[in-house]
Amino acid sequence: MTCECGAKRDLAYGESWTCDQCGRTWNTKQIPAEQYQEIRKLQLRYRAVPVALASVIAAIAIFFTLTGNIFSVFFLMPVGLIGWFTLVRPVHRKRYRQAISDLPRWDLRPE
């Protein structure tokens, strides 16, 4: 949250803050709870994709290690990273930006 006087502070949803410089009180409960939950669901969904992909690659690497095929691990990791950064991540970011552009925005005012 950035106050009109320029002071900044990170707030979780539901917290309020009184600016030390100007005395204005800001309350994040001005954001409707339903809309905030929609945003949180969207964030968690898009955070799950990289975690799931990394888990699959780690499981395959563990499988190769346990079967004694260490060379395949040294091939899998760079291929997995190159695939993520060149193919999956740009599409993932584009879809995330498109999804968040449709979300509502609020103009919070001091109380």
Helix (H, G, I), strand (E, B) or coil at 72: helix
Q: What is the pTM of this model?
A: 0.69
Percentages (nearest 5) of helix, strand, coil residues in the chain? 60, 5, 30
Q: Which residues is 4 bridged to in the sheet?
A: none
- What pLDDT, in 10s, does the model give residues 6-54? 788 888 888 888 888 888 888 888 888 888 898 899 999 999 999 999 9
Cβ atoms 28, 108 nearer than 8 A? yes
Domain that holds residue 37: 32-101
One domain for residues 14 and 68? no
71 domain-assigned: yes
Cβ atoms 38, 102 nearer than 8 A? no
One domain for residues 39 and 92? yes
- What pLDDT, in 10s, does the model give residues 72-104? 999 999 999 999 999 999 999 999 999 999 888
